[in-house]
Amino acid sequence: MNRRDRLYRWSRLSRQAGHWLTAQVALAIMRVLRLFPADKAINFADRAARRLGPLVGRHQVALDNLRKAYSDKSEAEIREIAVDMWGNMARLAAEYVFLDSLFDFDVHATSQGRVEVEGIPFFEKIAVEDKPHILFTGHLGNFELLPIAGAAYGMKVTSLFRPPNNPYIADFIHSTRRSTMGGLIASRAGVSFTLARILDENGTIGVLVDQKFVNGLPTTFFGRPCETSPLLPKLARQYDCDVYPARCVRLPGNRFRLVIEPKLELPRTERGRVDIHATAQLLNDVVERWVREDPGQWMWFHKRWKLTKASRRRARGAASA
């Protein structure tokens, strides 16, 4: 084994050990949280994150994104949104521990519990229609509750998710999701064929659409150039299926409102086919509307506006024009 191979092997083992150690710490924290009532554990995680979040490097990314998105807001307002974001992300992490008990919505109940649902007729309609459907959402509130709500109404939803880089944490999250959410597909090469097969069988898929996509379609988000995945628009064009926006709104008192909106009227080309680029922009516009309504519930530390070289050249050309 030459020196380069030894260095590569050492680097790989070191990275694996780091992932393992990080996962053990995270899982230990989750086990401790499990010892407490859900509300106390989730509120504690929120308070801790509001203090610790501003100390990590990604906090500066969040502040920079917020300043560019909200040029009309004061620095105090920007920092308040960033702190709210850390509280929301900590709540989401802590809620994984109690995911099996948090969703208390009963379609037959007469009183309101922790979860309320808006747009029930759409849930019911999708569940009984023998045709393909696409639901999309963003990283807002506890978006993990949406497929659980769909299952409560008899919807057979297969959700596309992006696993964390840490394989040990990814295994834990996947096992937690699988036990409560039904079908799950990890975002990786060839996933479009799997999703197409589900739609071929008149199934329903759920997709998160607010993440950066390398070499994606040139679009804008909050007026800034970004790259958006063409996957959902391409599938919508191929199957000419209904596309529904859905989101989770976090409410005071550790409560949630799950909202499914009327299906989108997708933009069409002159030939009547779904316009892929315009549809990608429409998805961004819907998510932007949601984020503007609840800015502290979105992940501003995500590098949503980081462009590849080709997209940077296109953006500079557009600005010059």
Interatomic CA distance for residues 154 and 148, integer angstroms: 10
Interatomic CA distance for residues 25 and 5, integer angstroms: 30
Cα–Cα nearest to 187, from 213, 169, 226, 219:
213
Strand order through the sheet with 204-208:
115-118, 255-260, 242-251, 133-137, 204-208, 157-161, 183-186
Task: Kindly report the backbone phi and psi dihedral angles of residue 70, in degrees, each rounded to the nearest multiple of 5, phi listed first.
Answer: -125, 70
Residue 233 has a pLDDT of 96
Residue 161 has a pLDDT of 64
Interatomic CA distance for residues 232 and 279, integer angstroms: 9
251 SS3 class: strand
Tens-digit pLDDT profile for residues 269-316: 999 999 999 999 999 999 999 999 999 999 999 999 998 866 556 655
Query: Would you state the torsion angle of the CA atoms of residues 169, 152, 128, 191, taken in this order, to the nearest 10 degrees?
Result: 0
CB-CB contact of 162 with 211 (8 Å): yes
Interatomic CA distance for residues 157 and 76, integer angstroms: 41
Residue 175 has a pLDDT of 64
Residue 141 has a pLDDT of 93
Residue 28 has a pLDDT of 78
Residue 33 has a pLDDT of 77
Predicted TM-score (pTM) of the model is 0.85
- Residues (pLDDT < 50) of the chain are none
Query: Would you state the torsion angle of the CA atoms of residues 99, 105, 107, 111, taken in this order, to the nearest 10 degrees?
Result: 170
CA–CA distance from 92 to each of 60, 138, 196, 201 (Å)?
21, 14, 30, 33
